[in-house]
Amino acid sequence: MSADANLKAKGITLPPPNAPLANYVTSVRTGNLLYLAGHGPFKGAKHTKGKLGQDMGVDQGYEAAREVGLALLSTAKAALGSLDKVKRVVKVLGMVNAMPDFGDHPKVINGFSDLMVDVFGEAVGKHARSAVGMGSLPNGIPVEIEVIFEVE
């Protein structure tokens, strides 16, 4: 099943694409690669805020990473016209706003990774990934993720 059909079949609605918050663009295509700028989680019109290990647990972080995944898919769809043009999720950098003693960064970023496999399937959705902790992120968001897609 195609990615666009998969979204519809699973009842997943993408949010409107994010607008840049500073002096950058949300996507750059070069050759067969689509680079997406770091995105944060939004619920409605506002940022989800929180710090893992302080005021958010792993499950809340997982959900925030999934929200980021939906935002990134929305940006990709706006750039490509269809998610069916994605041939592979290549590389992901997941940044987690966390307390120094928090160590479950990979479990948090799984919220994004699981969504990619759910939408694109194992062969396209599985990706190389880094999941790292940060002392802070813009606007107090708990997670920021950037991604590189191989595209048609």
User: pLDDT digits over 45-61, tens only?
Assistant: 678 899 999 999 999 99
pLDDT the model gives residue 55: 93
User: pLDDT digits over 6-41, tens only?
Assistant: 999 999 999 999 888 899 999 999 999 999 999 999
> Which structural domains are found in the chain, ordered by start?
3-124+134-151 (3.30.1330.40)
DSSP H helical ranges for the chain: 3-9, 58-80, 105-120, 122-125
Q: How many CB atoms lie within 10 A of CB 131?
A: 21
**Token pair in block for residue 81:** 């016209």
List, in order, residues 6 or more apart from 87 with CB less than 8 Å away: 32, 124, 149, 150, 151, 152
First vs last C-alpha separation in the chain:
17
Answer whether residue 44 shows pLDDT above 70: no
The rounded mean pLDDT for the chain is: 95
